[in-house]
Amino acid sequence: MTTTDEIQAAEARTPRPAGRPRSARAEKAIIDATLDLIGESVGLSELSIEAIAARAGVGKTTIYRRWSNKEDLLVDALATLKSPLPPVAGVSVREDLVAYARVFLRDACDARNRCVMNIAMNEAERHPRLVERIRQATIEPRRAAITALLRRGVTTGELRAGLDVPIAMANLVGTVMWYIRTEGADECAASSDLAERIVDHLLVGLGP
């Protein structure tokens, strides 16, 4: 039995939530086709449901069964580029920060991910409502999780009182992104301890 057969058999057994497409496989093909076309610099304005359907090998109605318009599909497709944050152990703030940093690192190390996200955000500067929706879908869940973690650290005394939370968040995410962009992919190996190095560095600061 192939993996595809297994998926289809599993789908046949499992009742689907309302609003899901006929098949998870079709949904994945549609999302992939959307990201591929963005990655090929097809402008968001020129990106058409017809082109996405053709690339995904599905009919337009399959797309419209799941997404009522192109913008909704675009937001969902881009949201898949961000790995979900893991549930945190909650024992030590340092360990939980490292767990988050590992996820940011994994996403930053995926060149297609970076490229598609950048193109979409650049394009989106011309479409402010769309950029706001993309931010809500991709950045806000992470921002909320990191904020909660940093606040927990201040409460437990593991982080210093009066911490500037938005700047501390920018420290964590910005350092990961910038390091991978400029120092490159050597740190993308699974064995890299870059997440630990970054968190420990931020915890002690630059000062003597």
60 binds its own copies (CB under 8 A): no
Give the binding range for its own copies (CB under 8 A) out of 15-23, 53-61, 82-90, 156-164.
156-164
Of residues 60 and 181, the one with the C-beta less far from its own copies: 181
CB 150, min distance to its own copies, A: 8
Options 15-23, 26-34, 69-77, 111-119: segment touching its own copies (CB under 8 A) = 111-119
User: Which of 9, 43, 48, 193 contacts its own copies by CB under 8 A?
Assistant: 43
HEC profile for the chain? CCHHHHHHHHHHHCCCCCCCCCCHHHHHHHHHHHHHHHHCCCCCCCCCHHHHHHHHCCCHHHHHHHCCCHHHHHHHHHHCCCCCCCCCCCCCHHHHHHHHHHHHHHHHCCHHHHHHHHHHHHHHCCCHHHHHHHHHHHCHHHHHHHHHHHHHHHHHCCCCCCCCHHHHHHHHHHHHHHHHHHHCHHHHCCCCCHHHHHHHHHHHCCCC
24 or 188: whose CB is closer to its own copies?
188
Kindly tell me which of 56 and 168 has the beta carbon lying closer to its own copies. 168
Report the interface residues with its own copies, using CB under 8 A. 41, 43, 111, 115, 118-119, 121-123, 125, 135, 139, 143, 150, 153, 157-161, 163-164, 166-168, 170-171, 173-179, 182-183, 197-198, 201-208
